[in-house]
């Protein structure tokens, strides 16, 4: 029996692009069912409304009535992209055999879903969609993205370079993912730890079809901080090493001061004293901030609150 494909699409204020997205995805699903005969006729497109404040959910309801492929879930409030995606994956694993996650903005090339399915038939449980290059990005975005991936690698975090959340996962891979209960989700770091056979397909990223990016600079920074602090304790260890370094420097300065006093070369240095205080004070505050990030995450984890609340479902 052919596998059932569920394409999961997190949506937050996507009224401008949603109908076109569903149109293109529906054509792809129809082709895979009828022309290529790669998937089951019960395959679906699962739209996840992440507490949108525009007409996204209304459009999903209309598409559910008019399009046989469209299903939807409505989250009671906005919980963020990662949690909304997780809600879609947890729902999709009960509906199908292979799950593809993709953003609603049509920047990811949907045609490579065919290649992902081919990799699935070859025995891969996880297939990553990876950008070939970042020429369409600004210099700042390209540089910061490359720096982030390199930093994650240095910190020992497994991740796929130039991969976002566009991927195919088998049912058993998603079931294993659902066993990870942490509230601070960074799926790009979690999924490579599942241990199943993986592969990549490569594509060119297009311009956004309509609307604005849902990941401005502030959210990107928060996402990067979550990724780093969710998977590595090396920043805390780095603070410890910096503290040891400062202690050694202090001992060296103490020896220098004692020698200077013996030689009678004592010179009062107000500027150097004040600069040192500011430098050490800044490092101390930085260290407290990093530790605070970890304490805050522990605080969120021990409360064990649900990641999301599904208000309603439209499932065929």
Q: Are residues 206 and 254 in the same domain?
A: no
Q: Are residues 263 and 159 in the same domain?
A: no
Q: Are residues 187 and 249 in the same domain?
A: no
Residue numbers of the chain with a pLDDT score lower than 50 = 270-271
Q: Are residues 207 and 250 in the same domain?
A: no
Give the CA distances from residue 288 to residues 120, 282, 283, 292, in Å, rounded to whole numbers and listed in that order.
46, 10, 9, 6
Q: Are residues 174 and 265 in the same domain?
A: no
Residue 95 domain boundaries: 5-231+307-314
pTM for the model:
0.71
Q: In this structure, what token pair is assigned to residue 297?
A: 């995450």
pLDDT, position 257? 63
Please give the distance of CA 168 from its chain centroid, rounded to a whole number. 15
Count of structural domains within the chain: 2
pLDDT, position 271? 44
Q: Are residues 106 and 125 in the same domain?
A: yes
Residues 14 and 47: their CA atoms lie apart, in Å, by 11
Q: Are residues 177 and 101 in the same domain?
A: yes
Whether 19 and 63 have beta carbons less than 8 Å apart is answered as yes
Q: Are residues 167 and 246 in the same domain?
A: no
| pLDDT tens per residue, range 94-116 | 999 999 999 988 888 899 999 99
Q: Are residues 118 and 191 in the same domain?
A: yes
Q: Are residues 22 and 66 in the same domain?
A: yes
Which is it for strands 70-75 and 5-11: parallel, antiparallel or unpaired? Answer: unpaired
Give the CA distances from residue 218 to residues 150, 222, 307, in Å, rounded to whole numbers and listed in that order.
20, 6, 21
pLDDT, position 100? 95
């Amino acid at each position: 029996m052919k596998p059932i494909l569920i394409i999961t699409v997190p949506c937050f204020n996507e009224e401008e692009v949603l109908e076109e997205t569903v149109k293109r995805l529906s054509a792809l699903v129809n082709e895979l069912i009828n022309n290529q005969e790669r998937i089951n006729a019960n395959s679906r497109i699962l739209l996840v409304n992440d507490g949108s404040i525009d007409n996204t959910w209304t459009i999903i309801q209309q598409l559910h009535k008019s399009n046989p492929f469209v299903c939807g879930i409505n989250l009671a409030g906005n919980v963020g992209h990662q949690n909304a995606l997780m809600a879609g994956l947890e729902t999709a694993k009960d509906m199908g055999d292979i799950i593809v996650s993709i953003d609603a903005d049509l920047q990811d090339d949907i045609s490579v879903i065919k290649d992902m399915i081919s990799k699935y038939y070859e025995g891969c449980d996880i297939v990553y969609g990876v950008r070939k290059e970042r020429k369409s990005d600004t210099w700042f975005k390209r540089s910061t993205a490359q720096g982030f991936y390199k930093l994650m690698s240095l910190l020992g975090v497994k991740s796929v370079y130039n991969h976002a959340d566009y991927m195919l996962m088998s049912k058993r891979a998603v079931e294993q993912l659902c066993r990870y209960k942490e509230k601070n989700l960074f799926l790009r770091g979690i999924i490579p730890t599942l241990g199943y056979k993986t592969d990549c397909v490569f594509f060119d990223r297009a311009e956004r079809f309509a609307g604005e990016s849902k990941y401005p600079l502030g959210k990107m920074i928060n996402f990067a901080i979550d990724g780093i602090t969710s998977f590595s304790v090396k920043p805390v260890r780095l603070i410890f090493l910096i503290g040891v370094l400062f202690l050694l420097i202090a001992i060296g300065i103490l020896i220098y001061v004692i020698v200077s006093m013996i030689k009678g070369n004592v010179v009062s240095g107000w500027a150097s004293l004040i600069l040192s205080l500011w430098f050490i004070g800044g490092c101390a505050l930085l260290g407290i901030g990093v530790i605070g990030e970890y304490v805050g995450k522990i605080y969120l984890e021990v409360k064990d609150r649900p990641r999301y609340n599904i208000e309603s479902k439209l499932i065929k």
